[in-house]
Structure 1
């Protein structure tokens, strides 16, 4: 599964284009330890020398002004188990088909958990000299093409996405790469909440524990997340289709139907999260079984000790209370009394143990019903596991839909 985003640059000039190309080509990001090579290539150009070739093409046609380049990224899901080299090959095929007649620098970054490729596209065609024209529908076209290529390579895809929020400013993109984006923090917290949620109510409760509010109604097309930092963000502006209202609802519905057949399960983007959720359910069931086993063990031990002490007490009582005795019986009684101290110590230890167990049982809270127990356990786990990191207020949500490039 791959998603394509448009990275909006704040300025357009040779210096900015040079800086973006250099950023994409960084060796620490592009070096693949498996293939022992840098994953930097070019379509209709030499990837390593792409800046110079871009500028040469512009000067030949006298179009070294206006829009200099376009910047896109294609991100792959870790669930695909792609190697960096395989991802690079998919991206090369995508670039060749997406921008025919244009020079494209392709760089695949493999230094993060999510392998992703960058595309820097020369705005001027090297054969025709015509400038690349884009429209609000361009991103949807590119994503459809990416899906076709992914299917051909045996990768999964999501349902067609009609939203316009899969574009990202350079500032936000860099903030994400540095771990400073509040939107990325929101997305990470949604991921964590989904790991413990099997229904809409549980998801809303988990998000509430993390400090979020949600506007989630049947009448609204989008989910709106209200963050602890005071910002609000629609689902479509998180740059990943899995966060869309429809995909979250479908995933939670599938989790609620534990007996769903594989034929009925549709891709939602939450497959990894579903496995973690099911793992949490198994761990919770095992913990409950172990708790019951320990409780049964305490009960059994108490009965054994109680019975033993009763027998000992009866024997001692018979020895001490019998007054019709001859000298031999008296001798035996005295010996019994001398041994009584040791027996009494044993009785005292047994009584103390039983009392301790009884007190411990009395101190334990009343066993809640299954539903309340599940809810309290989920909230306790969420409170312990979830981070309480502060949010960065420097980056703002962008609510605009689509994008239009001026030539």
Structure 2
């Protein structure tokens, strides 16, 4: 199929620091698969910040731009080859010349090899901000196609110049994101929320996970709604996500999330879903989630007591 270049966005210095932490997690980066162009890929935020200070750039100004290059397993590239292919790509993009760039390969997704490219928004040589528009992105995609051809990788389907996919449905979704569709940020926030919800065992872990992805969370006892914001200032109420995705109804409320966190904690302690069904005399997880909040908390405490050999926590 060939490589796919996707523009993820950008953010200020605070978001850049969170992004650095997220991209350099040990479980995501194997065999130290990183490349730094005029910067240290493990501490690129500090290097970027020094350049901004040198050119007297406001600390709240956009600090970076973020891109992802991904390949399918069927392309047959190793992680090292994907890393090198990404390096060739960024070195071939004229507008990136003079900018510090961190390239980090994530190996945690077995069937989705990909690299993250973080570009300092300020040119080290001129002090000017990077202006990278839709036409520049299309040119970069065409360059990636040519680089793939040199490795004998042909695109599986070319529907329109600069874009390719395996189906019209996935092509449309990809095109919207790459052309800067105004609503694509909504999908990004939704995906980040679901990913964090799947693993978090508490409210604090949930919020920290989203912050590491570059998002901020407003969750207050005095407010009904939970709000997640991206680095560009786009805000999303979790209740609105529920309205757009009926399958999530009731799962993104404060009570629904707390129930999910408790379930995640139980599962980590070694209690399987099947054991929970037997213990609580229910037929499905849906039935379990319909229990009242107070009853749920009592049952959680019972389970923890059993797991700790009968000792109260």
Shift of the 82–60 alpha-carbon distance from structure 1 to 2, 3 Å rule, reads same
Contact 1:7 1:173 in 2 (8 A): no
Structure 2 residue runs of 5 or longer lacking an equivalent are 164-174, 199-243, 249-284, 287-313
Q: Return closer, same or farther for 1:136/1:78 CA change in 2, 3 Å cut-off.
A: same
Query: Structure 1, unaligned stretches of length 5 or more?
Result: 32-36, 181-226, 232-388, 391-407
What is residue 400 of structure 1 aligned with on the other side? none
Residue in structure 1 matched with residue 148 of structure 2 by the alignment: 150
Count of paired positions = 180
Q: More helix by proportion, 1 or 2?
A: 1
Q: Give the direction of change, closer, same or farther, for the CA distance of 1:173–1:133 in structure 2 (3 Å limit).
A: farther
Counterpart of 2:192 in structure 1 is: 174
Aligned-CA RMSD value: 2.7
Q: Per the alignment, in what secondary structure is the counterpart of residue 5 of structure 2?
A: strand
Counterpart for residue 16 of structure 1:
15
| Structure 2 counterpart of 1:137 | 135
> Residue 90 of structure 2: which of 91, 95, 98 is its match?
95
Partner secondary structure for residue 112 of structure 2: coil
- Residue of structure 2 in register with 1:7 after alignment: 8
- Deviations 1:118-165 (Å, cap 9, x if unpaired)? 011100011111110022323222211211211122222242246443
2:61 aligned partner:
66
Change beyond 3 A, Cα 1:29–1:53: same
Q: Which has the larger radius of gyration?
A: 1
Q: Return the alpha-carbon distance in structure 1 between the equivalents of residues 24 and 87 of structure 2.
A: 15
Whole-Å separation in 2 of the counterparts to 1:59 and 1:38: 29
How far apart in 2 are the matches of 1:74 and 1:140? 14
* CA offsets 1:238-263 (integer angstroms, 9 cap, x no match): xxxxxxxxxxxxxxxxxxxxxxxxxx
Deviation at 1:171, TM superposition (A): 2.1
**Structure-1-length-normalised TM-score:** 0.40
Check conservation: 2:101, 2:120, Cα contact below 8 A.
Answer: yes
Helix, strand or coil for the counterpart of 2:21?
Answer: helix
1:57 touches 1:124 (CA, 8 Å); kept in 2?
yes
Q: How far off is 1:17 after superposition?
A: 0.7
Q: Provide the rounded CA distance (Å) in 2 between the counterparts of 1:60 and 1:38.
A: 30
Q: Which residue of 71, 79, 83 maps to 1:76?
A: 71
The answer to whether 1:54 aligns with 2:60 is no
The within-5 A match list for 1:286-301 is: none
